[in-house]
A and B are shown apart, each in its own frame.
Chain A
Amino acid sequence: MKTRLFALLPALLLSSHLVQADATLLNVSYDVMRDFYKDYNPAFQKYWKGKTGEKVVVQQSHGGSSPQARSVIEGLQADVVTMNQHSDIDAIAERGKQLPTNWATRLPNNASPFTSLQVLIVRKGNPKGIKDWNDLTRPGVNVVIPNPKTAGNGRYTYLAAWGYALKQPGGNEQKAREFVAALFRNVPVLDTGGRGATTTFMQRNIGDVLVTFENEAEMIAREFGRGRFEVVYPSISIEAELPVSVVDKVVDKKGTRKQAEEYLKYLWSPEGQTVAAQNYLRPRDKAVFAKYAKQFPSVKLFTVNDLGGWKAIGQKHFNDRAIYDQIAAANAKKK
């Protein structure tokens, strides 16, 4: 028994073909980006091989955005990080000192090659008649949102609802707070990440509405079939910037700066932008956007900077004992 196991080991060791690569990049990314990079990485490899004759292998690591950033800070050797909120890369710059704090200015569009936005996903036929954010606060409507404390996805939803309430006639901070509190009273489960929330809604059939990224809605359609749900675009939503950066400390040590920088720049190329559009991420490139305009209904959008930027938002809303915690505590008492 034992000898057989040991005879098997070398066979297994050999079976994983060791790809002879000139350079290896590690892309540390968040949960729902795996589909995009599955398509993008081969496109980049082809481009790089054609340009330099060099073979580059891209390894992927996926998980919740913030825990992934945490791992990079603790030494995960990421050549590039591709996250869903600026605050995660800021954390790597501030706590890990692995890249300069002005990283977002090194690439165009605030270092975000594409964007997404929060949409409402409802069950087929929209039985609860959900049309906009205010429908989510009605009693008897169950909303599935990932936890804003752990998921960028959940934060964007929180901020979208906050911004919507502010922009209503007579809207002010107090009203926004009440509105968001009422919304989160309707949340039966807080998953830790975006994918978990989707599984709760689609697989476990919990809730009337799932609030998530527009591109995640397309993934749901591909996996679960288009007939099972509908996408509702609210009257106004938040633009989610999905920032990328090279991790300077790692690429300088590994000598992969050239490849890593080109890997990110290529995201802005027509090819990269097309892969993004095909994965329902809104491209920055006007021509590519026009070509795929049909799948991107125009929605009134506001940005994170309209609400004061991530730093101020973190202090005001998401830090310990800030507004989100206060709302959660008050809601727990009411239940």
Chain B
Amino acid sequence: MSTKPRRSGITDETPWVKWLLTGTALTFIGLFLLVPLVSVFAEALNKGWELYLAALVDDDALSAIKLTLVTAAIAIPLNLTFGVAAAWAIAKFDFKGKSLLVTLIDLPFSVSPVVAGLVYVLLFGSHGWFGPWLEENDIKIIFAVPGIVLATLFVTFPFVARELIPLMEAQGSDEEQAAMVLGASGWQTFWRVTLPNIKWGLLYGVILANARAMGEFGAVSVVSGHIRGMTNTIPLHVEILYNEYNFVGAFACASILALLALVTLALKSWVEWKAERDTEAARAAANAE
């Protein structure tokens, strides 16, 4: 540390204010993020690696991991398609009811996940609107995989669209118009012009949606039925193990979710860094011309 305070450009606060603020932020992050995260792994490895691994290759745990992956593998591509279509429509075109559509897309953010799950029970449960018809035709939606996918779709609905709309609005539609004028078809314009422009934002949205899809508890809990080895996702399985006093198992499965969060974080930083580099390169190219 030099004795002479070096003041970084924008503000000219005294050093102790700077250190106090940084210190507070770091303490807060340490207490509320790092300590719990470490404790998850500490509890999981409490009784050694062997038990940890045994807890993960347990039949019920494997089926929970499988169901979680399958759910995400169905929900994310669907939300990606929808998100791109919605963002495209909203950012590039003007139509009646546009603000209503934006509000509807945001709805899952403001609705409690438990309510989101209950909505599907009310629709597809035995006493719901479609319940009797579904039962007659022997179609299972809630308390089965389709219900879990639906609930996950609902809670991850806004992520991709929300990420893309501001980006696409900022980019405007000049490039698309130019492409059209030069004779490109709608698809060509989308694949060659729009998609390359939004790819980083799109990836960012997908990563966030995926993290939420795998970690969702409330909505899925309501529609799952908690059948062991059948309709438990990882978060539900963690709760069950915890209630069985199987703390090693519970935290071992929780550590998978924590690892997923860390991977998500790393991917997210990488995407942000990549996107920034891309814009800088584009700017440099534009300046050079």
Contact of B135 among A13, A75, A195 (CB under 8 A): A75
Measured between beta carbons, the chain A residues less than 8 angstroms from B243 are 31, 62, 193, 195-196, 199
Which residues of A lie under 8 Å from residue B125 when comparing CB positions?
74-75
Question: Restricting to B133-180, which residues have a CB under 8 Å from any CB of A?
Answer: 135, 140, 142-143
Whether the pair B62, A12 counts as a contact (CB closer than 8 A) is yes
What residues of A have a CB within 8 angstroms of the CB of B229 in the complex? Answer: 16, 59
Counting chain B CB atoms within 10 Å of each CB, which of A9, A34, A63, A223 scores highest? Answer: A63
Q: Chain B residues with Cβ under 8 A from A235's Cβ?
A: none
Measured in the bound complex, the distance between the Cα atoms of B124 and A12 in whole Å is 29
Mark B52-68 against chain A: 1 for CB-CB distance below 8 A, else 0: 00000001001101100
List A contacts of B73 (CB < 8 A).
5-6, 9
Q: Is the CB of B69 within 8 A of A9?
A: yes
Chain B: how many interface residues by the 8 Å CB criterion?
Answer: 30
**Selected contact of A12 from candidates B66, B226, B242, B245, CB within 8 Å:** B66
Q: Does B240 interact with chain A (Cβ within 8 Å)?
A: yes
Q: Which of A61, A74, A219 contacts B226 (CB 8 A)?
A: A61
A75→B227 contact, CB < 8 A: no
Is A15 an interface residue, CB under 8 A from the partner? yes
Instruction: Find chain B residues with CB under 8 A from A219 CB.
Output: 245
> What distance in Å separates the Cβ of B245 from its nearest Cβ neighbour in chain A?
4
Give per-residue flags for B229-253: 1 if the beta carbon is below 8 A from chain A beta carbons, else 0.
1100000000010111100000000
Residue numbers in B under 8 Å from A270 (CB-CB): none
Given contacts A12-B62, A15-B62, A16-B63, contact A77 B228 (CB under 8 A): no
A60 adjacent to chain B (CB < 8 Å)? yes
The residues of A that contact B131 with a CB separation of less than 8 Å are 74-75
Contacts of A199 in B (CB 8 A): 242-243
Judge if A73 is at the interface, Cβ distance under 8 Å.
Answer: yes
CB <8 Å contact, A76 and B143: yes
B143 near A62: Cβ-Cβ < 8 Å: no
Q: A96 on the interface (CB 8 Å rule)?
A: yes
Interface residues of A (CB under 8 A from B): 5-6, 8-9, 12-13, 15-17, 26, 31, 34-35, 59-63, 71, 73-77, 96, 193, 195-196, 199, 219, 223-224
User: Can you name 23 A-B residue pairings with CB atoms under 8 Å?
Assistant: A6-B73, A12-B69, A13-B70, A15-B66, A16-B62, A16-B229, A17-B59, A31-B243, A34-B244, A35-B244, A61-B227, A62-B226, A62-B228, A63-B226, A73-B127, A74-B128, A75-B131, A75-B135, A77-B140, A77-B143, A96-B126, A96-B127, A195-B243
List B residues at the A interface (Cβ < 8 Å): 59, 62-63, 65-66, 69-70, 73, 121, 124-128, 131, 135, 140, 142-143, 225-230, 240, 242-245
